[in-house]
A = this chain, B = another copy of it.
Amino acid sequence: MFRLTLVAGAAAIAAFAFAVPGYAADAKQMEENKKTVRALYEAALNKKDFAEASKYLGSKYTQHNPVAADGPEGLKGFIEFLKAKFPNNKSEIKRIFADGDYVIVHVHAVREPGTRGNAIIDIFRLENGKVVEHWDVVQPIPEKAANTNGMF
């Protein structure tokens, strides 16, 4: 009976592990991915330091933002543009999410201090802990709104 109970116990553990395949590893990786995206955002948009930002990129960086060129070189060009035109740009992550290989950030970006700025949601895809693809949607925050809740 002890042996039977042991076998049943082992089966229960196996069943639980099967029900949540790689969960502990996944959850840890998703937290790491959030940290990586935060670090990339800070380096690229606030410090405007491509050398630091590039540490968080994989061997490719597929760009879907229609005003940015593809690849790591496109990010480099965008950072140079920011440094030249909007050296005081400040991007603040308001909320961050992760699901599988993706990290999503909701951001308030102010290019010129004192202006309303843009609401942005970015989606990043990671492979092996490095950022390899980026989509975003950008909208200027309007002066007036039909509700009093704000865009964040």
Contact = CB atoms under 8 A, between A and B. Distances in A.
A138 B27 CA distance: 30
A23 interface: yes
Counting every copy of the chain, the complex holds 2
Contacts of A74: 146-147
10 contacts: A6-B6, A9-B9, A19-B24, A20-B20, A62-B149, A64-B147, A64-B149, A68-B147, A70-B149, A121-B123
Interface string A104-148: 101000000000000111010000000000011111011011111
Contacts of A20: 20, 23-24, 27
Interface of A is mostly: mixed
Interface of A: 2-3, 5-6, 9-10, 12-13, 16-17, 19-20, 23-24, 27, 62-70, 74, 95, 97-100, 102, 104, 106, 119-121, 123, 135-139, 141-142, 144-152
